[in-house]
């Protein structure tokens, strides 16, 4: 796993930690692809009851897309980039293998810090 994303397991809770504080945890290709893979694996893991996505650093949870990286893209890169962005959004949106999907208890509350990118505005499902 690249250093841009770290995983910590605390019993049945998995912490996915964005680790690019020098750029306010902006999402680049390596981070995006790691998130897609990691969230897919965690979603299939029956031992995982909750997933917390957080970021390192003091200034921001996630500033969104790494604009320095996308400034180098050309017109021919846009379709592939958008396709992978949609896959990343789906990886978050489709998290269903959580406590709320296997429990009769009400779904957990959801909170966010300042600087939260839309990718992380997912809902818990029953």
pLDDT value at position 67? 95
> How do residues 12-52 score in pLDDT, each as one tens digit?
999 999 999 999 999 999 999 999 999 999 999 989 989 99
Q: Where are the domains of the chain?
A: 5-120
In a 13 Å sphere around the CA of 79, the CA atoms on its Cβ side amount to: 1
Q: What is the CATH number of domain 5-120?
A: 3.90.226.10
pLDDT in tens, 55-84: 999 988 999 999 999 999 999 999 999 999
What is the rounded radius of gyration, in angstroms, for the C-alpha atoms of the chain? 15
Structure tokens at 16: 């996915």
Q: What is the pLDDT of residue 125?
A: 36
């Amino acid at each position: 796993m690249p250093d841009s994303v770290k995983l910590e397991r605390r019993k049945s809770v998995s912490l996915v930690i964005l680790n690019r504080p020098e750029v306010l945890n902006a999402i680049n290709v390596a981070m995006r692809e790691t998130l897609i893979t990691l969230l897919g694996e965690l979603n299939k893991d029956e031992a995982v009851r909750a997933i917390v996505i957080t970021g390192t650093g003091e200034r921001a949870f996630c500033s969104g897309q790494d604009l320095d990286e996308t400034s180098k893209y050309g017109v021919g890169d846009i379709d592939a980039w958008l396709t992978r962005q949609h896959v990343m959004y789906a990886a978050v949106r489709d998290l269903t293998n959580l406590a709320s999907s296997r429990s009769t208890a009400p779904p957990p509350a959801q909170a966010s810090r300042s600087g939260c990118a839309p990718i992380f505005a997912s809902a818990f499902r029953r």
